[in-house]
Amino acid sequence: MSTFSYQVFATVVRYQSFYQASQVLNVTPSAVSHSINQLEEQLGFPLLIRSRSGMTLTHDGELVLPFIQQILDDETDLLQMSNNIKGLRSGSIKIGAFSSVCINWLPKILSSFSKQYPDIEVSIVQGSFEDISKKVKVGEIDVGFTTLPVTDNLTTIPLIEDPIHCVTPAGFVPKNKKSITQQDIINQKFVLQKIDYDRDTKSVLDDYNVTINSINFSIDDQSIISMVEAGIGFGILPKLALKKIQGDVEIYPFHQSYTRQIVLVTGKNKVASPSVVELVTVIKDFVEKTYEISLES
């Protein structure tokens, strides 16, 4: 089987459309259909369920996809290694990251990386913590920033413990003058992003006995600040997310310390390409210098 059949299959899965896959691969829709049929014939079972609404993977297709993606990744790695040996250091990398990393970390990281390796093309995919892990797992992105816990079988590189703070309207002062306690949040509403409610933020709210009825959900970190400014409620945001956000608000720690663990994830069973190895090194150097810490090798 040629790797073209694998490329066609992976592209159809990504775009859930024969037509869109044909446009990306610059072939006809019938060529895409023929390639998928040929692959299913050679494997001996259906990979896709075709319907008017698009394409979905069969159960067998879900099992096969990571292996096919691995083959495609290995082919890319081989070409990158070849270029590396020839001294070209060319290739491409896809990075996955959530909002605050995109805003506060990636500009400096990518600036440093591009100066060292100007011929390596880097693209960024922004998403939720779960999305990033899933895309790394199937090989859609090479390396991703996320937070613990990571349930997928991935290689995890711990980076920093990011403190979680309470954001209050301007002029608010906690009863103990320095940190938010249970007394400060009696009958108080909270504003946070929906994607954060099932992670570290939920731990804070649960400890302070804040129910779902007392929560307003927002779309992004800046919107949370704006709602807090307007007196709609208190916000809960990690320190990194607060770095470049502006607003007439107060920021306090909670009486009990809360953090989120930011980590870097790569494919568990994937041999990292030379360019990815170099990027990880640049990321770790940036974190060590910025936070004056030493990361494990």
Q: In the predicted model, is pLDDT for residue 196 greater than 80?
A: no
Q: Is 255 found in the same domain as 173? A: yes
The predicted structure's pLDDT at residue 197 = 66
Q: Is 241 found in the same domain as 278? A: no
Tokens for 95, please give them.
């990075």
Over range 138-162, report the average pLDDT.
92
CB atoms within 10 A of CB 215: 18
The predicted structure's pLDDT at residue 192 = 85
Neighbouring residues of 166: CB distance < 8 A, sequence distance ≥ 6: 180, 234, 235, 236, 251, 252, 253, 254
Domain endpoint, select from 24, 57, 84 = 84
Over range 218-241, report the average pLDDT.
91
In this structure, is residue 196 part of a structural domain? yes
- The 3-state secondary structure of 268-289, one letter per residue: CCCCCCHHHHHHHHHHHHHHHH
- Mapped onto helix, strand or coil, the DSSP state of residue 92 is strand
Q: Is 183 found in the same domain as 149? A: no
Query: In what helix (H) or strand (E) does residue 162 lie, and over which residues does it extend?
Result: strand 154-169
DSSP letter at 254 equals B
The predicted structure's pLDDT at residue 202 = 79
Please state the length of the chain. 297
Q: Is 44 found in the same domain as 125? A: no
Query: In what helix (H) or strand (E) does residue 94 lie, and over which residues does it extend?
Result: strand 91-97
Tokens for 62, please give them.
């879900």
The predicted structure's pLDDT at residue 270 = 67
**Range with lowest mean pLDDT among 108-122, 223-237, 264-278:** 264-278
Q: Is 165 found in the same domain as 36? A: no
Tokens for 223, please give them.
């919107």
The predicted structure's pLDDT at residue 209 = 83
The predicted structure's pLDDT at residue 61 = 92
The predicted structure's pLDDT at residue 181 = 94
For residue 100, the domain's CATH number is 3.40.190.10
The predicted structure's pLDDT at residue 271 = 63
Q: In the predicted model, is pLDDT for residue 120 greater than 70?
A: yes
Over range 233-251, report the average pLDDT.
91
pLDDT in tens, 163-180: 999 999 999 999 999 999
How does the average pLDDT of the chain come out, rounded? 89
* Single-letter residue type at 133: S
Q: In the predicted model, is pLDDT for residue 105 greater than 90?
A: yes
Task: Count the domains in the chain.
Answer: 3
Domain endpoint, select from 84, 110, 140 = 84
In this structure, is residue 13 part of a structural domain? yes
Largest CA distance in the chain: 71
The predicted structure's pLDDT at residue 173 = 95
Q: Is 65 found in the same domain as 41? A: yes
Q: Is 106 found in the same domain as 51? A: no
Q: Where in the sequence is the domain holding 136, given as residue range(s)?
A: 90-159+261-291
Judging by DSSP bridges, how do beta strands 91-97 and 143-147 pair with one another?
Answer: parallel
Give how far Cα 134 sits from Cα of 231, 248, 271, 292, Å. Answer: 37, 37, 18, 31
Report the predicted TM-score, pTM, of the whole model to 2 decimal places.
0.72
pLDDT in tens, 32-51: 999 999 999 999 999 999 87
In this structure, is residue 296 part of a structural domain? no
In this structure, is residue 297 part of a structural domain? no
